[in-house]
A = this chain, B = another copy of it.
Amino acid sequence: MAGNSLGKEFVVTIFGESHGRCIGVVIDGCPAGLELSKAEVQRDMDRRIPRGSEIVSSRIEKDEVDVLSGVFQGHTTGAPIAMVVWNMDVDSRPYELLKDIPRPGHADYPAKIRYQGFNDYRGGGLLSGRTTVAFVMAGAVANRLLQRTGIEVLAHSHSIGDVFSRTDLTSDEIRRNVYSNPVRCGDHQAASSMEQAILSAANEGDSIGGTVKVIVSGVPPGIGDPVFSSLDSELSRALFSIPAVKGVEFGAGFDAARLKGSQNNDLIEVRKGEVTYLTNRAGGVLGGLSSGAEIVAHVAFKPTPSIQKTQRSVNLRSMEHTELRITGRHDPCVVPKAVPVVEAMVAIVLADFALRSKIISTIFR
């Protein structure tokens, strides 16, 4: 069944395969009259890969954005915006060997069942980290919309393995630092330890996991729809669509489960004539609605399943055990590339809510 579309008013549909001709996206419902150039989307795209760093795969795609429709004379037209990135540096040879041997931690086996053996197994086909290229293109448009509203989405690497960034980091620091180091961390000191942790895993032929923190500022109170389209429901749905995500929490999250109500409640106060909160353990979400405080979430990423160590698996033809060693080009940690992807997904959901809640539309009219 169909599942490659996200959103109600700002509807994002993706297509393409890791080793096919392209990765593409169609955005339906973007209002007419938004200034949009290829260069702006390209700028977001270019943040996806920390080029020159040893922590990323040696598959080097130029990832040049090609706008196919929906933009005319430098503005969106209200018609669907289609964009693609053509795949250039594809090497599918390693996958032929793996065709019948599912890689541990990958969806190879369930995908084979799901698609009765007809799925494009090269690089995971559609079920590949490469499809996040489409998320980033859509996120770029979403971010352009959000700029009109004062909403800003900011993400960074909160942890890699056991290395955590400082807890007292400000949004300003994150904004300033995040794309100036290859691990995309707002804390410069932690960044260099994180890089070491990734390289150390890579040198062992291994990989490593981590978490991304995302902060959204400028969201007015009351955004969200009851009950199944609440702000946290829609955000979590979008975040779990990112490959390798295993957990999502808002505010205090799992820590809140250990607290008393008197410890966890954010007391309410008036500051400069506005309702505000003494703390933000709710992570900006109350009853599925934005509280008016910053939306804060943590997203857990598992370590890259493709590792160079020999692993045990099964040959699905002979149904016999086999040893497997993956030789393709893989990132030893997905988290650095995931930072702009998390930003993109959160921006897409918020652009959708902004349009639904008429915040943006009244700006455009």
Q: Which residue in B102, B204, B319, B356 is a CB contact (below 8 Å) of A1? A: B356
Q: Check: A169 CB closer than 8 A to any chain B CB.
A: no
B257 x A206 contact (CB < 8 A): no
Q: How far is the CB of A99 from chain B (nearest CB, A)?
A: 11
Asked if A247 contacts B243 (CB within 8 A), the reply is no
A69 lies within 8 A of chain B by Cβ:
yes
Interface size class of A (residues with CB under 8 A): 35 or more
**Which B residues are CB-close (under 8 A) to A252?**
246, 302
Instruction: State how many angstroms separate the Cβ of A299 from the closest Cβ of chain B.
Output: 9
Bound-state Cα–Cα, A109 to B293, Å: 12
Contact B76 A15 (CB under 8 A): no
Report the bound CA distance from A118 to B10 in whole Å: 18
Separation of A256 and B159 alpha carbons in the complex (Å): 12
Whether a CB of chain B sits under 8 angstroms from the CB of A148 is no
The reply on A292 being an interface residue by CB < 8 A is yes
Contact with B along A13-42 (1 / 0, CB 8 A): 111110011101010110011000000000
Task: Tell me the smallest distance from the CB of A125 to a CB of chain B, in Å.
Answer: 6
Give 12 A-B pairs besides A68-B84, A236-B248, A268-B313 with Cβ atoms closer than 8 angstroms. Answer: A9-B356, A20-B69, A20-B72, A33-B115, A127-B289, A206-B261, A209-B256, A246-B252, A257-B301, A267-B313, A268-B314, A275-B316
Chain B residues with Cβ below 8 Å from A239 are 236
Copies in the complex: 4
Instruction: Note all chain B residues with C-beta closer than 8 A to A114.
Output: 32, 78, 221-224, 289
Contact with B along A41-79 (1 / 0, CB 8 A): 000000000000000000000000000111010011111
Complex contact A291–B109 (CB within 8 A): yes
Does A327 count as interface, using CB distance less than 8 angstroms? no
Residues of B with C-beta under 8 A to A229: 1-3
Query: Is residue A152 contacting chain B, with contact meaning CB distance below 8 A?
Result: no
Closest to A281 in B: B302
Q: Is residue A340 within 8 Å, beta carbon to beta carbon, of the partner chain?
A: no
A254 to B266 Cα, complex, angstroms: 24
B-side contacts of A127, CB under 8 Å: 226-227, 287-289
Chain A 306-331 interface 0/1 with B at a Cβ cutoff of 8 Å (1 = within): 11010111101001110000000000
Contact for A15 among B80, B247, B306, CB less than 8 A: B80
Among B113, B258, B267, B275, the residue within 8 A (CB) of A222 is B113
Known: A3-B28, A104-B268. A33 touches B292 (CB 8 A): no
A109 to chain B, nearest CB (A): 6
Q: Contacts A116-B33, A246-B253, A287-B111 given: A302-B264 contact, CB under 8 Å?
A: yes
